[in-house]
Amino acid sequence: MTDNLSNSYDINGQHFNPDMYLQKMLKECTLKQIMDNEKEIIGDTQTLLSDMQTLVYENYNKFISATDTIGKMKSDFKKMEDSMDLLATNMDSITSFSEQISSTLQGTRQQISRLSSVHALLKRLQFLFKLPGKLKDRMNEGNYSQAVQDYIHAQRVLNQYGNMPSFQGIQKDCEEIVEELKSQLRKQFHKREASTKSLAESVDLLLQLNEPADSLCADFLTHADNRLAEQLAILKDMCENDIIEYVDMGSSGFLSDLCLIVASYNDMFVNRTPADDTDFSDDFDTKALTRLNVFIMDNMKKYFDLIGKRVEDVADTAVLVRALDRFHRRLQAMNMLCTETDFARTGIDIVINAGRKQCRNHLHSLKQHLSETLAKVRQTLAAKVTQDGDGGLAELQATLVMPTIEKVKGVLQDLLVFLQPDLSFSLKPHFLQSFCVDEVREGLVVGYLHHLTATASGFCTGSDVPKFPPTLLLLLSKMCIEFKDSSVRYLLTTTDDLFNIEQHATSENFITTESEICENFQTTAQNLLNHYVRLQGLAVSQMLRKSVETRDWLHTIEPRTVRAVMKRVVEDVTAIESQVAVLYDDADGQMDRSSDSSRKTHSVSVSRHQYRSNWSSYTPSHLDSSLVTNIHKLFSERIEFFSSVQFNKASILTGIIKISLKTFLECVRLRTFSKYGLQQIQVDTHYLQLYLWRFVTDENLVHFLLDEILGSAVHRCLEPVLMEPSVVDIICERG
Amino acid sequence: MENDNPVIYGLEFQARALSAQTAETDIVRFLVGTQSLKFSNNQIHLVELNEETGSLKTQVFQHPVGEIWSLQASPTELDKFVTCYNTLNDEGICQMKGALWKLPNVKDDTNEILQLDKISDIDTTPYGNELQIIAYHPMDATKAVSVVDNNFVLWDLTNTCPQVVTVGTLSTKGQPRFTTGKWNPHNGCNQFVTLNENNVRGWDFRKPSETAWNIPAAHSQIIRDLDFNTNRQYFLSTCGDDGYMKFWDIRHPSEPVMSRMEHSHWVWNIRINRFHDQLILTSSSDSRVILSSIASISSEPFGHVSPEDDTTSAEENSNKDKLEDGVVGKYEEHEDSVYAVEWSSADPWTFASLSYDGRLVLNKVPRKYKYQILL
């Protein structure tokens, strides 16, 4: 309402209300304003009037021109009507003409179409006729696939019309040619230099020619076999080459070829789409697959044999391991291709074998090193025998132990490359178990330790006539002891740590314990030492025996000196002592005696005194009853002569002296003595008593044996009269 | 005698010579000869074991001519034996001599020292001074071989004056000397075996000029004794200073069939039991006598198997168990070197051993082992 209200005041609006407007004006505006407003409105009104006049005028002009146009149109339409009529008549005549023409041409057209169909047929026939030649051409060009295409193309027709004589000829020709083609293809098949790819093509073509797939399979595989055999032969020839190169060759040459062959075989024979051919039955599929598997197994076996053989003899472990790694990786890849068999397993076996072989090689070199060391030590010893004394025994001992340990450690380090974590086979438990436990620990380390003991033991079997210096036995015995005390433990823990034996060992593995080996070393050391004592005792015995046996004791002169043999015996024992002292300590109890000089002199005097008192019992009245020795026998233990000794100097020397003196005793008992002969023995035994007691653990033993000797000599004497002890003293001191 | 305790008999002189009274097959009797340099004091002791009571009966005879180094009883005549003795000749030089003796008939037990009858001297001095042994033929009491220096001499004892039949000489470098010898009881007793140093040599009386066979360097040191296995041809045993006893097949002299070391000093004597040849006695200067069983190379390696061999496997196993080679007994009754050991000729389970200090010990094979062999 308000809108309308306001609108009604708008002079240009639709709802303008002049009365309201006037009233409003009158009410609100001044006169002057109203006047101005009136003037304004009058002006506007006039303008509007003139505008309207102009418009009217213009519209009138337009109307006139329209009227003109309409009149013109009327006349034009008239003319058009006439033209249309003319057209109609013309069309009629055209139609009639056309009908006339088509009826005239109908015969010719049929002829043409027949001609063209004949032409096509002729063309086909021409193809057939030309086919033999074309096939020949193609064959000569070597374009076999095209030839096959052509033949297959024609074959159907030929089959259809094969009964007609003319076609029969063609068919025969074609078949001949195709036979030739086939043979060509087969020939290509058998060509040595044919690549696998071209082979595959040939096979494909032959298959298209309906050759029996079975024989093709066989042919294909035989051929592939030959090719692979060549590869293998090349590999075989390359044995001299670097191992990595060799393995790479194998991978890129043999294995790639094999993969390619297998792939194309699968494509050609196994994975055909069933619709493709009906003759590829399931039966054939399985047959083809078994054939393939046999083939693969065969060739892989050869390959493995070659590789296995090659990797057996590689000096540098790092290189070997790298080669093995490559080999194993490649095999793993292979595995994806040939699903039937697990080549990785075989590969691991080869790796393990290589590891084993490497261990064996190392073991062998260790053994060699040992025998070289032994030879060296023997040489040194042999050279030293002339210049007696302890000359470098300790160093020799060291050369027996330290380098051996170092060498074993070096070998272990060398073998450690087998366990590098980035190697493809280093995580296989089968490998770890077999390599670490069986090969490295048991085969190499324990094997070597066993070899050590066996080698050492080898020196104490055999005769008492040694072909080597007896000192060697002493050295070896000491070596065994050292091994037992520390080196065995050290080597085994090192091995166990380095190769994580505890983790890898399973119940299947046999693990030699440390104590077992140590025991071995202990017995070996004992045997060696016993043998040493026996040999040295024998050497001294021999001198004593000869000296007793060769002398004519019935016609000897009154003793003036100690016999040279006795001095020699003492010298020898002293030399032995100095040798033994280098390697073996005194027994605990002996220590103070040898170091305390005052005690020493005291002991000498005491023992002399005792000895003298013993002698005094051999007055002629008592000579028949060797009371003293009998009493001694009652209270002393039985003496073992060829017995085990302990690992200390005194025990070793006691053993040697025991054997020597017992020989002396037995020899004396086989002889008969005159008075002077007996006295010579008296002098000799006294001399021995003076010098031998300090070497032994129990000097009473020496006393007892010497007493026995003298006692026996007294018994074996025709005129048993002993010398004055003081004279004996003098002679001994002089001599 | 039902207990196995040793019977000990002490002589007052030192002694090395021991022999079973070989011709006696009912009573266990041994002859012992003493060694004393007071030559007239030497004696022969005839020791008889009463198997019922275990007591000893002894009779002493005078052997006034010298100290006895070796003694052997006749194989067929109870009362005869030969000795090798050492005596002093007029120039004050020791000389080894041999003699054939006869025991006097003893009616009653007597404590007197009886006189022996010397049948004849066996004068070996033309062949050398070192008479080692006079060894009777195993069956024929008219034949004996003396081993002197590097000669062995076959004597015919039929007449009172012994005649030399054959002489064989070992002539190699370095003045070889035989240490002892023994008849080979096989092959019709045509062979004699000698020892020198560490070699064993076999001789044939039909061709004594050369060695029939030899085992060179059989031991690494002196061989002290040998014995034949009377039940198994070609097999003999040796022992020596290397402490070993070795068993040989003389057809394969390069390697011993077996060698064992049981003693801790020289082995002086080895004796194979004549009836059960797996039983081996050895005596040693370690004052021990050791009885070993070496069934594996005996003539009855599988025990006393009956001819029909249908024993079950279990029995076989038990047989094998009990016949393992090894030491059967160690006899430690001696306190001095034992230089002689002998099996009794009458009882296959009894043996005697003699140590230097004059102690004669009679022992028996342990009953347990005896039954194992017999059953």
The enclosing domain of B229 has a CATH number of: 2.130.10.10
Using 50, 70 and 90 to split pLDDT, how confident is the model at A271? low
Residue A605 has pLDDT above 90, yes or no: no
- Across the range B257-269, mean pLDDT stands at 90
10 Å Cβ neighbour count for A620?
Answer: 11
**pLDDT higher than 60, residue A102:** yes
**Higher pLDDT residue, A78 or A275?**
A78
**Separation CA B118–CA B135 (nearest Å):** 17
Is B320 part of a structural domain of the chain?
A: yes
Give yes or no for B182 touching A (CB within 8 A): no
Q: Chain B residue closest to A462 (CA)?
A: B220
Interface check A16 vs B, CB under 8 A: no
pLDDT of residue B81: 92
Query: For A4-8, A603-607, B329-333, which range has the lowest pLDDT when averaged over its residues?
Result: A603-607
B262 interfaces chain A, CB cutoff of 8 Å:
no
Cα-based torsion angle of the residue sequence A415, A416, A418, A420 in order, rounded to the nearest 10 degrees: -160
DSSP string, A560-619: -S--HHHHHHHHHHHHHHHHHHHHSPPPHHHHHHHH-HHHHHHHHHHHHHHHHHHHHT--
Taking the C-alpha atoms of residue A432 and residue A441, their distance in angstroms, rounded to an integer, is 12
CA distance B182 to chain A (A): 21
Kindly report the average pLDDT of chain A as a whole number: 77
Tell me which DSSP letter residue A647 carries.
S
With CB atoms and an 8 Å threshold, state whether B264 touches A641. Answer: yes
Chain A residues within 8 A of B335 when measuring between CB atoms: 633
Looking at the complex, does the CB of residue B242 fall below 8 Å from at least one CB of chain A? yes
For A660, nearest residue in chain B (alpha carbons): B265
Distance CA A645, CA A648 (A): 8
Among B37, B67, B175, B177, pick the best mutation site for testing chain A contact (most A Cβ within 10 A). Answer: B37
Radius of gyration of chain B (CA): 20
B81 belongs to a structural domain:
yes
Structure tokens at A462: 């055999």
A716 closest CB neighbour out of B37, B93, B221 = B37
Averaged pLDDT, A682-704: 86
- Mean pLDDT is highest, among A188-202, A352-366, A385-399, for A352-366
**Which of A400-414, A494-508, A533-547, A588-602 has the highest average model confidence (pLDDT)?**
A533-547
What is the spatial distance between Cα A177 and Cα A169, in angstroms, rounded to a whole number? 12
Mean of pLDDT over chain B: 86
Counting residues of chain B whose pLDDT is more than 90, the rounded percentage is 33
In a domain, B1, yes or no: no
With beta carbons less than 8 A apart as the criterion, state whether A529 and A652 touch: yes
| pLDDT for B3 | 63
Mean per-residue pLDDT for B300-318? 51
Measured between CB atoms, does A554 come within 8 Å of chain B? yes
Q: Between chain A and chain B, how many beta carbons pairs sit less than 8 Å apart? A: 43
What b/e string do you get for B54-68 counting C-beta neighbours within 10 Å, with b at 16 or more?
Answer: bebeebbbebebbbb
Q: Does A329 touch chain B (CB under 8 A)?
A: no
Residue A633 in contact with partner chain B when CB distance is under 8 A: yes
Residues of A with CB below 8 A from B287's CB?
A: 638
Q: Is B115 exposed, middle or buried (0-12, 13-18, 19+ CB in 10 A)?
A: exposed
- Mark yes or no for CB contact B263/A642 under 8 Å: yes
**What's the confidence (pLDDT) of residue A598?**
35
- Give the angle A206-A208-A211 at the CA atoms, nearest 5°: 50
Q: Mind listing the pLDDT tens digit for each residue in A256-270?
A: 777 777 777 777 776
Q: pLDDT grade, residue A613 (50/70/90)? A: very low
**pLDDT surpasses 80 at A444:** yes
Which residue do the tokens 């025969």 mark?
Answer: A172
Q: How far is CA A419 from the centre of its chain?
A: 9
Q: A 530-549 residues with CB below 8 A of B?
A: 538
Rg of chain A on CA atoms, in Å: 63
Output A161 or B172, whichever has higher pLDDT: B172
CB spacing of A640 vs B264 below 8 angstroms: yes
Residues 385-444 of A with CB under 8 A from B: none
List of chain B residues whose C-beta atoms are within 8 Å of the C-beta of residue A714: none
* Of the candidates B25, B63, B28, B77, the residue with the CA atom closest to the CA atom of residue B360: B28
Q: Does B265 touch chain A (CB under 8 A)?
A: yes
More confident residue, A461 or A4: A461
B342 near A CB under 8 A: no
- Which residue range is the domain that position B110 belongs to? 7-374
pLDDT band per the 50, 70, 90 thresholds, residue A630: low
Q: What is the pLDDT of residues B203-245, one digit of tens each?
A: 998 888 888 998 988 888 899 999 999 988 889 999 998 889 9
Whether pLDDT at A191 is above 70: no
Chain centroid to CA A645: how far?
48
Q: Which amino acid is at A282?
A: D
- Total of domains in chain B: 1
Q: How many CB atoms lie within 10 A of CB A186?
A: 17
Nearest to residue B290, comparing CAs of B249, B241, B232, B245? B245
Cβ contacts of A10-14, under 8 Å, gap ≥ 24 = A11/A41
Any chain B CB within 8 A of the CB of A637?
no
- Domain assignment present for residue B2? The answer is no
ipTM, 2 dp: 0.89
What is the pLDDT at residue A604? 37
Distances (CA, A) of A251 to A261, A264, A312: 14, 18, 18
Angstrom distance (rounded) from CA A476 to CA A374? 9
**pLDDT greater at residue B163 or residue A305:** B163
Residues from chain A contacting residue B285 (CB–CB below 8 Å): 641, 662, 666
Smallest Cβ distance to A672: which of B94, B242, B335? B94
pLDDT value of residue B310: 46
pLDDT of A660 higher than 60 = yes
Nearest residue on chain B to A708, alpha-carbon basis: B336
Comparing A85-89, A283-287, A439-443, the range with the smallest average pLDDT is A283-287
Asked if residue B92 belongs to a domain, the reply is yes
A98 close contact with B: CB closer than 8 A: no
A643 touches B: beta carbon within 8 Å: yes
The whole-angstrom separation of Cα A13 and Cα B178 is 175
Indicate the range of A131-135, A349-353, A441-445, A569-573 predicted with least confidence.
Answer: A131-135
Q: How confident is the model at residue A323 (pLDDT cuts 50, 70, 90)?
A: confident
